[in-house]
Amino acid sequence: MAHRLLRDAEADGWERSDFPIICESCLGDNPYVRMTRAQYDKECKICQRPFTVFRWRPGRDARYKKTEICQTCCKLKNVCQVCLLDLEYGLPVQVRDTALSISSHDTIPKSDVNREYFAEEHDRKARAGLDYESSYGKVRPNDTILKLQRTTPYYKRNRAHVCSFYIRGECTRGAECPYRHEMPVTGELSQQNIKDRYYGVNDPVALKLLNKAGEMPSLEPPEDESIRTLYVGGLDARVSEQDLKDNFYAHGEIESIRMVLQRACAFVTYTTREGAEKAAEELSNKLVIKGLRLKLMWGRPQAPKPETEGSEVARQQTAVAHSGLLPRAVISQQQSQMQGPGSQDHGPAMHYYNTLPPPQPERTFYPSMDPQRMGAIVPSQEGSSSGPSGSSENRPPSEQQQQGQHYAYPAMAPPHGQYYSHYYPPYGYMMPPPPYQQYQLPNQSTVPPLHPPPATQQYQQHPVQSGSTPSSSAPVPPPAPPSSSGSTPGGSAPPVSS
Amino acid sequence: MPKVKTNRVKYPEGWELIEPTLRELQAKMREAENDPHDGKRKCEALWPIFKIAHQKSRYIYDLYYRRKEISKELYEFCLDQGYADKNLIAKWKKPGYERLCCLRCIQPRDHNFATTCVCRVPKHLREEKVIECGHCGCRGCASGD
């Protein structure tokens, strides 16, 4: 039998479409989707005109979703047809409009005939090819919106609805009930109205989000003026040093970037304090690299402070201090050992750099007292000269070392720091860059490159650890004789026994 | 008055043996038809009808094809009189459909994407293990399970 249309669809101006305009979350995680299309199946929830309803299941554990508003209404506000959230940012209309200071609030009529007329006019214009001034593509995203936007799809909203019989205790369907058997979350957020959400008026979710945005903490610079390092957390394998560099170079000259993949974090050190502050100001809460929202905080000085705030903070400090290589037990031990400047201080502090502590001859209390620690290649008195010369050659690492050293030993002389720059970058378990190895090779015969103190075996395990990175581990052999336990690659430090 | 042709039922032999069961099933069906629908979903109210229809047909099918206790004449008589559904029995004779619940569940025209009902999917291939199909309340009629 011929399928006869009762009315001429074109004449009525009812909407026909071929594919829904929906966001990623509503489409689901499954790349294979079966969708039914029903022309003029339902009326749009906003403008009440018949439109094409698409229905599909966005994933295995999802309920069936269908388009709720017509494409005309959806294009007017640039929202998803199902969830009515912005297509680009995933935010409610009210949030997006406030953040971007758009106000199409008055242009779309809300009542009866006005609304229908407006919708049809708009539809006709769109079909005729006139580009409606869809300003949504042209608006530049500002900070607030970048802070608030959703970066990954959120599939929890595709779950089945809560079983209303279960709430009353009357669900007789039991195991085959397709609805969720949970108690619903009630509260102010539950009273939502699709028209309010669409027009961006009086939307509780939007209000909550805006409040939260207003209160988002800004990153104040720490009191210690010498800190020029920013801690970047939440890293992933996708984010490379180059990405960080690209993001951070704009605010100031980067002295160094140290990535600690074990802790999913990185430390970006600027040459100037102003650069770091500028970066913090601009990027805090807005740092999104490759879709991954990263946390930005100030790096903490590595001088062990008794942190009472909480394990998270302490852990972070640990991360900052040790790049995740030493267990907290070690740190706390070091913290407890922290005394005035002295070899004792010096020794545990060495852990922070994962360097071998300098040898501790009987009378020398400062590293600068010990020529070997000043960079002596041969156990002669080259030390102090090679120190400064080395520093002039290697300005950046020495500066970073200097700064890093500054973290740990406020009392220490800079040349000492420069010495360490040759061998171990601060925060780092990374291998010292190859040029430095020249220093080490001749050292091997005479003094193990890291000058392990004969009495302290524990320290020797650090170069072992750092030397465990496969590439350049050769020139830094584990100091043979005193090193006792085998090196555990990858940073699990054997407990320091002193 | 002209002679009005009536249809008088002439029961073949062997009928007395199966009659009690058939009457029982008929009574059950009437009960299901008259059940109030309270507390049940709209589709759920129809499930007993399909279930009993399946039961009746199953009884006669079993008697003739499996147990071979009734004659062909009696069997055809039952089919003609409407004590069993001959279309459903025709499906049961086919491989893979031995336990078919009802004829709606295999009708692609009745389903989205021209598929069959979920109750036709074997349990080990399904994601949800416990289901009741919407048409007849079937929990799984694939021949394997």
Chain B nearest-CA distance from A6, in A, is 23
Within 8 A of A175 by CB-CB distance, chain B residues are 130
From chain B, the residues in CB contact with A34 under 8 A are 112-113
Q: Which residues of B touch A (CB under 8 A)?
A: 39, 112-113, 127-128, 130-132
- A60 CB neighbours in chain B (<8 A) are 127
Q: What are phi and psi of B99, to 5 degrees?
A: -115, 20
Q: Do A176 and B132 count as a contact with CB atoms less than 8 A apart?
A: yes
The chain B residue lying nearest A165, using CA atoms, is: B39
B113: nearest CB among A34, A174, A176: A34
| A164 contacts chain B (CB < 8 A) | no
Taking CA–CA distances from A60, the nearest residue in chain B reads B127
CB contact, 8 Å: A156 with chain B? no
CA dist., res. B78 & res. A139, Å (int): 77
Shortest distance, CA B129 to any CA of chain A (angstroms): 8
* b/e sequence B7-42, b meaning 16+ C-beta within 10 Å: eeeeeeebeeebeeebeebeeebeebeeeeeeeeee
- Are A36 and B132 an interchain contact pair (Cβ–Cβ within 8 Å)? no
SS3 A396: helix
Per-window interface: A 59-78 vs B, CB < 8 A = 60
C-alpha distance from residue A12 to each of A39, A68, A365 (Å): 13, 20, 93
Which residue matches tokens 């009005």? B4
Give how far A164 is from chain B: nearest CA, Å. 14
A175 vs B127: CB contact, 8 Å cut-off?
Answer: no
Torsion of CA A86, A89, A90, A96, to 10 degrees: -60
Which of B118, B127, B132 has the most A C-beta neighbours within 10 Å, making it the best mutation to test the interface with A? B132
Query: Would you state the structure tokens that stand for residue A215, as one six-digit string?
Result: 């209160």
Buried-exposed string B120-137: b where 16+ CB fall within 10 A, e elsewhere: bbeeeeeeeeebbbbbbb
ipTM of this complex prediction, to 2 decimal places: 0.85
Task: Decide if A176 and B131 are in contact by the 8 Å CB cutoff.
Answer: yes
Record: contact A60-B112, CB cut-off 8 A: no
Q: How far is B15 from chain A (nearest CA, A)?
A: 41
Taking contacts as CB-CB distances below 8 angstroms, the residues of chain B near A172 are: 39
Chain A residues 14-53 within an 8 A CB cutoff of chain B: 34, 36
Q: Which of A167, A187, A163 is nearest to A175 (CA)?
A: A163
* Residue numbers in chain A where pLDDT is lower than 70: 1-13, 103-106, 129-138, 216-224, 285-286, 291, 301-365, 378-498
Distance from CA of B125 to the nearest CA of A (A): 14
Low-confidence ranges of chain B (pLDDT < 70): none
pLDDT of residue B101: 96
Q: Tell me which of A176, A177, A179, A180 to substitute to probe the interface with B (most B C-beta atoms closer than 10 Å).
A: A176
Instruction: Report CB contact under 8 Å: A60, B127.
Output: yes
CB B12 within 8 A of CB B74: yes
According to the model, what pLDDT value does residue A149 have? 84
| pTM passes above 0.80 | no
Q: Tell if the CB–CB gap between A36 and B128 is shorter than 8 Å.
A: no
- Whether A3 contacts chain B with CB within 8 A: no
Q: Would you call A401 exposed, middle or buried from its count of C-beta atoms within 10 A (0-12, 13-18, 19+)?
A: buried
A172 interface with B at CB cutoff 8 Å:
yes
Question: Which pLDDT belongs to residue A302?
Answer: 59
Q: How far apart are CA A491 and CA A324, in angstroms?
A: 7
Q: Are A439 and A423 in contact (CB under 8 A)?
A: yes
pLDDT at A365: 67
A170, closest residue in chain B (CA to CA): B39
Taking only the tens place, the pLDDT of each residue in A133-163 is 566 666 777 777 877 888 889 999 999 999 9
Cα-trace Rg, chain B = 18
Three-state SS at B125: helix
CB half-sphere exposure, B29, CA atoms < 13 A: 18
Cβ-Cβ contacts under 8 Å between A and B: the total is: 13
Closest-approach residue (CA) in chain A for B127: A60
